Structure 1
Amino acid sequence: MNKFQRKTLFDHRIAIVVLALVFTTTSAQSKEDFECPTDAGNGNFADPVTCRRFYQCVDGYPYLNRCPSGLYFDDIQKFCTFKDEARCGPIATTVSPATEAPLDLALKCDLSECELPYCYCSKDGTFIPKDLAAEDIPQMILLTFDGAVNHNNYDHYMRVLDGRYANPNGCPIRGTFFISHEYSNYQQIQNLSHAGNEIAVETISLQQGLQDKGYEEWVGEMIGMREILRYFSNVSNSEVNGMRAPFLKPGRNTQYKVVEDFGFIYDSSIVVPSNKIPVWPYTLDYKIPHECKSGTCPSRQFPGVWEVPLNTHYVESFEGGVCPYLDQCVLHNHDADEVLEWLQEDFSRYYEQNKAPYMMAFHTNWFQIKELEQGLHKFIEWASQLPDVWFVTTTQALQWMTDPKRNKELAAFEAWDCRKPQTNTQRPCNLGNKCALSFKLGNITDTRYMETCQDCPNKYPWLGDSEGSGIPGRDNYIYQSKEPAPNEESESETTK
């Protein structure tokens, strides 16, 4: 990929406003074209002519479906995936699923081919961009918060982000929120976005085992969550730049195909094992430069897609444990000053070496323990006094990485300036609508409560119905890729 192509791809990711994917294109195919197996019941079955399509049998009638552009139907897993991973059918039902790991198709970093702002890699992930000296660059701190935002944690988050702490340019510190849907208050999320914090997506359902699911499930969870934020928090799709997999279990190549197809700039799901020198963010043009702790990292290249990894937190004595999320470290028996000292020692591994971004990832659990919350405030106050420390959002950190600036240049760095609005999200209403909504999951019917400045929906928004229309499976996401899917495959595509 040449520089012009990389620039086109990069600009596409920054500016794209992506809507969604059409999961299913029903066709008036007759039973003479394809007959559903009488002994298999409902389900998905391979098209006998091409791997690009499959049939969904419902009550004995076949509905023709087309895989998204660039994907092929796997007749064992029964979902669309990459061509080199798809096992084309029809395959006899007695064949056992293949268990071997996917081929490692990504190559090692090639510095002669990888140049900023479109690509970044280094041999082991620890090198500073542009070979700048550590003493000349800022130490970025990324405050990230996972899960629902609601009355249980909103005030705690606001005490960190209400403007009492400022960066060297006088701008208030900001954080990144990876939002999950259930129990979220969308008026509060809108207020966080309006104030300049970054809103990113986790998933709608926080389901276990998503890392083993197919493309459609990832689209439904991630793009559905982005749509819910658009409908109920007025956060536009173009401002939702990042995603994080639930439980830090990336979805192998499938998740990153969603990142690529739907215009996300970055993912932040991959954990770096305990390492003396922290790892910088990198693009997925090449093989990831460290061990994959989860075992579900991508194995192929996704040019221009950024990964903002979670370096593991620990201190030299390993007191408190080793953890990607700070609330997973066992610090509950410490007082606020001891929490401060623990954080300072962990932070020094970054600040005194390569100044890779120091990501402080939290769930709401951290803020339920007074000593931990007090220790965090002490740390932020202490770090804010250092002249080269900046608390920035994840996207702001990547804006620096694509155009690295020395400390003396940061006062005029527009991406970190607060004099211009950093978001298009409108100011939220003073009093949101408190919605009591019916919610059915499986055989269980319940009531869920949601607060938003928008009108209350008919039903609780969920997978397949992000707008809460009450029509299950209503969502049809319009697919937009770098190369639009053709109306009909060529002769070579239709022949296996």
Structure 2
Amino acid sequence: MSTFENQFVAVLYKPYLKFNSVIQFHLVFRMGVRLILLASIVGLTLSATTQGPESNCPRADACRSDECFPPECSCSGAEPVLEDREDRPQIVYLTYDDAFSAYAEENFYRSLFNGTFKNPDGCDIRATHFLTAQYTDYTLVNKYWKKGHEMASHSITHRSSTDYWKALNVTGWRNEIEGLRKMISQFAAIPKEEITGFRAPFLQLGGDEMFTALQQDGFKYDCSWASRDYGYLKLDVGLFPYTLDYETVQDCPVEPCPTCSYPGLWVQPMLDLEDRWIGADPTHPNNGMPCSMLDACIIMDDVPTKDTVKEMLMTNFLRNRNGTRAPMGLYMHAGWFYGEYSWHYEGYKDFLQEITENYDDVWIVPVNAGLDYFQNHNNLTNTEILALGDDSPFSCSKFSQPPYSNSRCDALTPCRYENVDNSDIHNQERYMHICGRTSTNTAQKCPPTYPWLGDPCGGNEPCL
């Protein structure tokens, strides 16, 4: 791929590196906007081919629907067996990437998940959090997990070089992905088997090396793989989650994508949304541009307000609703809500109020709950799902039972580390808010060294 093509992909799918302020973030957006416009003018098309696998894994064959069906297997491109689309529950995912911070919890998550917004069964809406190591408050991770939120891995280091992730071998991916899962289990007192999902930093797929690592460590799904062919203006023909037993029909906008077979490993496609930069692409003068992450969606109205955000989200929601109703995600970073951009947050909340109050078949649940539906209940109508009560894949009743009710956190005084010095942090101070119990209810103290790549528990034992 050429240098220009790499810049184009970086802007379109990964416009957030590590900015010191919201203003800096949007300055980079403006620079990226020019690249996107130039790409549309010259008619740039990105190759959908995949690189050959470096790891020793069996190449995937074309899917056979007579041999591949839920719960163990699902062909890419297959729809649920429930033929009447209007009877299908509509699933919306809310996900948040990177650190689970006390600031984000106090200012944003708390009022989103305090019971104001309900699912059709009366349960509170819930989200998936793709976590990284630095600045995560593990005591809050434990609190929200016990409320029914899903905690998933997003790597330890979240290094900003996409070349690092492209070149990473299987062992490197395992250290990043499984290492972060060990951190969550150790410091947030969450059983490791409850942490089953992953998202790659910057949505930079690692090809067969990454998916081999996920399978070897027993992860259930990946949610890193963007799709414009089944999203954006085609969100009404959205792609449903599928397993990688066989080859996929999904487009590959961010190479390398996998080519091998990974039986039972699910992909939850990230279907592109349409933003509010109307007319930026001459081929679609009446439409906005595609965005995989909500905080990559550009809003170019003269005086954008919370109503602009709500309108953008409703446009995508209704396109999805009137089509296949494949799960639609609002995938983002909490930083989109910060500072002078509070109208993002207000519009986001207004959208959630609209869809939870006016639609009795819309479910805002974590990714793992959505996958449970497609694995085990995809032949049921929304009415039948409601009739299941506590046995529904979306029910909240299980969160008052083990392992949730057995988890003790016993928060410690914040752990302080002066002059942390490793390959990513150079002589800086770090704090950790951790539970005084591990997932096995073993008492623990602050780790003797700052946990990082290669030593995810910081010397605390046992490190499961």
**TM-score when scaled to structure 2?**
0.76
Deviations 1:437-461 (A, max 9, x none): 1421249322111111222111211
Higher strand share: 1
Provide the C-alpha distance between the structure 2 equivalents of 1:153 and 1:464, rounded to a whole number of angstroms. Answer: 28
Deviations 1:361-398 (A, max 9, x none): 01122221211100110011111020110111111101
8 Å contact from structure 2 (residues 188, 409) kept in 1: no
1:396 to 363, 366, 369: 369
8 Å contact from structure 2 (residues 223, 269) kept in 1: yes
Farther off after superposition, 395-404 or 423-432: 423-432
2:324 to 354, 365, 370: 354
Letter aligned with residue 260 of structure 2: R
SS in 2 for 1:153: helix
Higher helix share: 2
Letter aligned with residue 119 of structure 1: C
- Tell me how far 1:431 sits from its aligned partner: 5.5
- In the other structure, the counterpart of 1:420 is 398
8 Å contact from structure 1 (residues 278, 349) kept in 2: no
- In the other structure, the counterpart of 1:452 is 434
Provide the C-alpha distance between the structure 2 equivalents of 1:301 and 1:280, rounded to a whole number of angstroms. Answer: 18
Matches within 5 A, 1:255-334: 255-275=210-230, 276=234, 277-314=237-274, 317=278, 321-331=289-299, 334=304
Matches within 5 A, 1:186-197: 186-197=138-149
Matches within 5 A, 1:58-457: 82-83=55-56, 105-122=59-76, 125=77, 127-155=78-106, 156-207=108-159, 208=161, 209-275=164-230, 276=234, 277-314=237-274, 317=278, 321-331=289-299, 334-368=304-338, 369-385=341-357, 386-403=359-376, 404=378, 405-411=380-386, 412=388, 413-421=391-399, 424-425=403-404, 432-438=412-418, 439-442=420-423, 444-454=426-436, 455-457=445-447
2:452 to 456, 462, 483: 462
SS in 2 for 1:377: helix
Letter aligned with residue 408 of structure 1: T
Provide the C-alpha distance between the structure 2 equivalents of 1:257 and 1:83, rounded to a whole number of angstroms. Answer: 9
Structure 2: give runs of 5+ residues left out of the alignment.
Answer: 1-52, 280-286, 437-444
Number of equivalences: 373
8 Å contact from structure 1 (residues 283, 303) kept in 2: yes
- Tell me how far 1:432 sits from its aligned partner: 4.1
Letter aligned with residue 154 of structure 1: E
- In the other structure, the counterpart of 2:40 is none
Structure 1: give runs of 5+ residues left out of the alignment.
Answer: 1-79, 85-103, 478-496
Provide the C-alpha distance between the structure 1 equivalents of 2:368 and 2:118, rounded to a whole number of angstroms. Answer: 18
Provide the C-alpha distance between the structure 2 equivalents of 1:441 and 1:232, rounded to a whole number of angstroms. Answer: 20
Change (3 A) 1:428 1:148: farther
Greater C-alpha radius of gyration = 1
Provide the C-alpha distance between the structure 1 equivalents of 2:322 and 2:258, rounded to a whole number of angstroms. Answer: 31
SS in 2 for 1:459: coil
Provide the C-alpha distance between the structure 1 equivalents of 2:193 and 2:253, rounded to a whole number of angstroms. Answer: 31
Change (3 A) 1:476 1:296: farther
Identity %, equivalent residues: 29
Provide the C-alpha distance between the structure 2 equivalents of 1:259 and 1:384, rounded to a whole number of angstroms. Answer: 34
- Which structure carries more relative contact order (alpha carbon 8 Å, separation 6+)? 2
Provide the C-alpha distance between the structure 1 equivalents of 2:84 and 2:104, rounded to a whole number of angstroms. Answer: 39
Provide the C-alpha distance between the structure 2 equivalents of 1:431 and 1:402, rounded to a whole number of angstroms. Answer: 36
8 Å contact from structure 1 (residues 183, 449) kept in 2: yes
SS in 2 for 1:157: helix
